[in-house]
């Protein structure tokens, strides 16, 4: 039987364990030590996507004990050693190597009267940008669309919630996270009085009619507040009413080469910042505007105007600043609109902290 080595939390001795063990009693000091693994953390965090399971306390076979150096796998009389089997999740998490993770979510709402035609194209385009051009490991990019065969990769409310938790899981200094959403957005009355305009912004999962939307308060708590110092999150949200959908404290208002940060914080509301990291969100429009789709870039495939303008700007200007990116998007979107549209769509930048947008370089 193959084994792995861990250290006892009580005395520091090395313990030889079966590969599936997540806890063991030390042969010397009798302390019980847990060994959280990536599979265990995934099962705990993603319990909703796993089949029912139980932690099984199993007596170690007589010829296998959690032994120290020199003892190996030999029996030790009178020991009550045990290990705990890992729970087996229904599907395995993408491995996290390197410091880049991304969640790309595109909802088309097939067979409804509010179906969108460009959301999946947005996700495919964003995947190409991140993986082929910006070096994100493909195994660290989770995609949720209605084209996926895995039922846990369909953009339902529960699956989006689960994937957002995965995105922020075990975030460390130096990590770069991306959350891209393309789909419908909405607004609803703010009941906890933490919004200046009196409305919570939302994203609409595939099953939002029965399960409800995901509100900005939850998005903020899930992927913004856990960010540690040295980590960064970029959100690209292509939906209506999305200006403050991450509930970040500051919104940038820009006019030509001039800009100002507007403080969205309410003194009596809960904290909406990070745990030391920086979170930034590019949104398709302000909280009271709608967003549009276009086929102007490809001439055939429909994509979100915001997603397309974002990708084109990043491709065309490799060393652009946040201010230049926001300006390029704002200049491009009107030219992508059909001539007969009266939609006014102004892309927004919000952040967990203020900075000079014309000197800070945009880096994913």
Q: Would you say 206 and 212 are in contact if contact means Cβ atoms under 8 Å apart?
A: no
Residues 346 and 127: their CA atoms lie apart, in Å, by 24
Closest by CA position to 333, among listed 354, 311, 353: 311
**What is d(CA 102, CA 182) in angstroms, rounded to the nearest whole number?**
14
Q: In what order do the strands lie in the sheet with 21-25?
A: 32-34, 21-25, 82-85, 57-59
CB 322 within 8 A of CB 259: no
- How far is it, in rounded angstroms, from Cα 123 to Cα 144? 9
Rounded distance, CA 59 to CA 25, Å?
Answer: 11
Relative orientation angle of helices 157-168 and 38-45, to the nearest 10 degrees? 140
* Measured distance CA(343)–CA(153) in Å, rounded: 32
- C-beta separation of 362 from 320 below 8 A: yes
Q: Is 184 a catalytic residue?
A: yes
**180, 184, 208, 234: the active-site residue:** 184
Cα–Cα distance for residue pair 360/357, rounded to 1 Å: 5
Q: Which two tokens stand for residue 175?
A: 């990590």
Q: How far apart are CA 231 and CA 279, in angstroms?
A: 9
CA angle (316 as vertex; 314, 318 as ends), nearest 5? 60
Tokens of 347: 């892309």
Q: Is 240 tagged catalytic?
A: yes
What count of residues does the chain have? 364
CB 106 within 8 A of CB 183: yes
Catalytic residue among 140, 171, 204, 240: 240
207: left (phi over 0), alpha (psi -120 to 50) or beta: alpha
Structure tokens given for 188: 């609803």
Q: Which residues are catalytic?
A: 184, 240
């Amino acid at each position: 039987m193959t084994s792995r080595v861990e250290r006892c939390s009580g005395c520091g001795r090395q313990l030889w364990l079966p590969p599936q063990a997540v806890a063991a009693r030390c042969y010397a000091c009798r302390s019980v030590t847990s060994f959280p693994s990536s599979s265990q953390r995934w099962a705990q965090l993603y319990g909703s996507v796993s089949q029912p399971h139980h932690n099984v306390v199993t007596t170690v076979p007589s010829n296998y004990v959690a032994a120290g150096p020199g003892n190996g796998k030999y029996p030790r009389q009178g020991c009550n050693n045990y290990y705990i089997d890992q729970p087996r999740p229904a599907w395995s998490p993408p491995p996290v190597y390197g410091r880049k993770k991304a969640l790309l979510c595109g909802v088309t709402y097939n067979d409804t009267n509010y179906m969108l035609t460009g959301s999946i194209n947005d996700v495919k385009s964003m995947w190409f940008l991140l993986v082929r051009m910006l070096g994100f490991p493909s195994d660290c990019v989770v995609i949720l669309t209605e084209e996926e065969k895995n039922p846990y990769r369909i953009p339902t409310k529960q699956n989006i919630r689960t994937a957002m938790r995965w995105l922020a899981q075990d975030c460390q200094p130096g990590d770069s996270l991306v959350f891209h959403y393309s789909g419908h957005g909405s607004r609803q009355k703010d009941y906890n009085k933490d919004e200046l305009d009196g409305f919570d912004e939302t994203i609409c999962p595939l099953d939002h009619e029965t399960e409800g939307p995901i509100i900005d308060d939850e998005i903020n708590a899930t992927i913004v507040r856990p960010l540690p110092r040295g980590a960064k999150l970029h959100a690209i949200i292509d939906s209506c009413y999305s200006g403050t959908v991450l509930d970040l404290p500051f919104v940038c208002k820009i006019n030509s080469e001039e800009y100002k940060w507007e403080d969205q914080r309410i003194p009596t509301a809960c904290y909406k910042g990070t745990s030391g990291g920086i979170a930034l969100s590019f949104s398709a429009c302000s909280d009271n505007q709608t967003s549009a789709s276009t086929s102007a870039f490809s001439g055939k495939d429909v994509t979100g105007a915001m997603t397309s303008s974002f990708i084109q700007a990043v491709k065309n200007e490799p060393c652009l600043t946040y201010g230049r990116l926001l300006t390029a998007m704002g200049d491009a979107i009107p030219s992508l609109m059909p001539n007969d549209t009266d939609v006014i769509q102004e892309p927004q930048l919000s952040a967990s902290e203020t900075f000079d947008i014309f000197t800070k370089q945009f880096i994913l």
